Chains A and B, each alone.
Chain A
Amino acid sequence: MSAETTHSQIAFPQETLAEVNRILGLFPEDNKKSALLRVLHIAQAEFGWLDVPVMDYVARLLHINPVEVYEVATFYSMYDTKPVGKVKLEVCRTGPCMIEGAEKIVKYIEDKLGIKDGETTADGVFTLKTVECLGACGYAPMLQAGEQFHEHLTEEKVDALIEKYRANPRANYMGM
């Protein structure tokens, strides 16, 4: 981890802290650890990815051991413990999407952005990732960008969404 990519000043803004407190309130007094997955999503949206200082911060907020956070952050595929682009293009590659042309879509994005599966564009905007079934099999091929589902993909649709996110990388987040 290089100095530039590590988050040295870690703190949620006030309104995010309020949301974290609301989420903690959904669980009984002795079981606040249950909020962990949700809070990690929030931390990732806020800081881009989960480095050790971010995870330690989350551990302090929830009054749990840092190792309990690391364990969870490395188990679930949605969490990034390495730097990623501002927009993750996550293309489903599982059976029903595969038979409707997911592989072609992946190839098209790779060629268009000049990156391979798992890589990030030089400008740091896009990361391409192939993922498993996202529950949109009837609308294949599909990809998810942030919280947004993009379905029935064609090359034209991919062009348009890349343009949209290049102009506004946050267009894929809907809020906290």
Chain B
Amino acid sequence: MGRKLLLEHANIEGIASYDVYRKNGGYRSVEKALKTMTPDEVVEEVKKSGLRGRGGAGFPTGMKWSFLAKPEGVPRYLLCNADESEPGTFKDRYLMEKIPHLLIEGMITSSFALGANQSYIYIRGEYMYVLRILEKAIAEAYANGWLGKNILGSGYNLDLAVSPGAGAYICGEETALIESLEGKRGNPRIKPPFPAVKGLWGCPTVVNNVETIAAVVPIVNDGGDEYAKIGIGKSTGTKLISASGNIRKPGVYEIELGISVDEFLNSEEWCGGMKNGKRLKACVPGGSSVPILPHFLVTKTAAGEDRLMSYESLADGGFATGSMLGSGGFIVYDEDQCIVRNTWNFTRFYHHESCGQCSPCREGTGWMEKVLHRLEYGHGKMEDIDLLWDIQRKIEGNTICPLGDAAAWPVAAAIRHFREEFEWHVNEPQACMQRNYGLVAEKVFAPASV
């Protein structure tokens, strides 16, 4: 059994209520921070912990916090990103539903560290029932003196509220989130200025993922050094993984970073191996935006080393033979799944979710969706594969926000690793409507050409 820092108490009866949460050690981090530490000392512990943002990009949280501008007399805001819309990702919902007070506690301790007196949790509109759970927990926290004026007699004031989105993946992007929280369309802003300087209502703002903020609780309780002992290298601590697809035991798991992918995928403690005795075909290890890995690169790197569940190991080999930990949305495909269909499905998603501000993203995703659709339905031409390659290359890096990249990478990776399967769809337009291609053959890489 690995150590659990976030979900340790998740299965205790009644843990969603204040009393049970408090009895199990809840709100200790707030007591410790407000009574014995300065805000900068809390930031220092987070820096020492090596915690990296759990929303997808993996940016060091302590460093992000230290970038926050602190002009005199201007309010600062902490926003929690609970938009969770990356396909394959459902961990934040689990955490908020099971232990809502852990997030509230993390918000209080983190807001104190940043000197924010008003903080918000922005949650996707489809999670309305979770919003109600959070509002109940917030009301309990107010009633017990953890929120409001002069918390624990420390002189520190904090108000916390939840606000919903209304169905838009793009609002997970931090500047789109801010726009949406201001009551506008979720159009990402051009950066700079960064939210750390000009965010919500033009004030300095930090946006962090639900899991990132929850992790601040054990970091403050046990110290950043203790947290950093867990994990491997620059991948410290534990990580929530949302496991889905053709595995025996899909669900949300908390792992110590650095366990092997093989163990995560195949042991009884986690995914429990492939369902129905099927063979592994591919895996998207970090949510729909990250490159797909063919079966022979899932548990091993191209160099033949064990692939680990860590930021570095999953990225080993770059995009030629690696992928990313991303949001921890671990999607597993068995030999019966069609890569062309899956790529078309994901591309349709990005096209649907593009906010439409930049033409490479708006037009490119639509174009890719059309080409993938005709390939999947047996009307594709061989040139279409190169066309797709060309379009995705023209999107990547040429847009206001990273949604463009997120749409381009899955297409590039699918072609890079599964080109034969795309070609088969062109060569066998009838057969591809009746059966699937099967497994990809192992091959030797020539990364230079891609």
Contact = CB atoms under 8 A, between A and B. Distances in A.
Interface of A: 26-28, 30-31, 33-38, 40-41, 62, 64, 68, 71-72, 75-79, 93-96, 98-100, 131-140, 144, 147-149, 174-175
Interface in B81-115: 84-90, 92-93
Contacts of B242: 137-138
Contacts of B186: 75-76
5 closest cross-chain pairs (CB), A and B = A76-B166, A77-B167, A138-B250, A36-B183, A78-B167
Contacts of A75: 168, 185-186
Nearest to B82: A135
B252 interface: yes
Nearest to B132: A174
A111 to B, nearest CB: 21
Given A34-B181, A76-B125, A132 B353 contact: yes
29 contacts: A30-B201, A31-B182, A33-B182, A36-B183, A37-B163, A37-B183, A41-B128, A41-B166, A68-B184, A76-B168, A94-B346, A95-B349, A98-B342, A99-B245, A99-B337, A100-B245, A131-B167, A133-B85, A135-B92, A135-B93, A135-B126, A137-B89, A137-B331, A138-B243, A138-B250, A138-B251, A140-B250, A148-B129, A174-B128
Nearest to A35: B183
Nearest to B331: A96
B88 A37 contact: no
Nearest to B91: A135
A137 B87 contact: yes
Given A71-B184, A133-B169, A174-B128, 16 more contacts: A26-B161, A34-B181, A37-B125, A41-B125, A41-B164, A72-B184, A76-B186, A78-B167, A79-B167, A93-B345, A95-B349, A96-B88, A99-B342, A133-B87, A139-B90, A147-B128
Dominant SS among interface residues on chain B: mixed
**Chain A interface mostly:** mixed
Which of the four size classes fits the interface of chain B? 35 or more
B245 A96 contact: yes
Contacts of A37: 125, 163-166, 180, 183
Nearest to B201: A31
A130 to B, nearest CB: 10
B126 A140 contact: no
A71 B179 CA distance: 13
B288 interface: yes
B126 A134 contact: yes
B183 A132 contact: no
B167 A76 contact: yes
A135 B84 contact: yes
A138 B164 contact: no
Contacts of A138: 90, 242-244, 250-252
Interface string B359-395: 0000000000000000000000000000000000000
Interface string B120-138: 0000111111001000000
A95 B346 contact: yes
B271 to A, nearest CB: 10
Among A33, A135, A137, chain B packs the most CB atoms within 10 A around the CB of A135
Given A135-B89, A135-B127, A95 B345 contact: yes
B176 to A, nearest CB: 11
B9 interface: no
A157 B342 CA distance: 26
Nearest to A140: B244
Contact of A95 (B124, B251, B288): B288
Nearest to A36: B183
B90 A136 contact: yes
B246 A135 contact: no
B331 A72 contact: no
Contacts of B250: 137-140
A151 B284 CA distance: 22
Interface string B238-262: 0000111110001110000000000
Contacts of B85: 132-133, 135
A27 B200 CA distance: 12
Contacts of B124: 135
Contacts of A36: 183
Contact of A94 (B159, B245, B337, B349): B349
Contacts of B88: 95-96, 133, 137
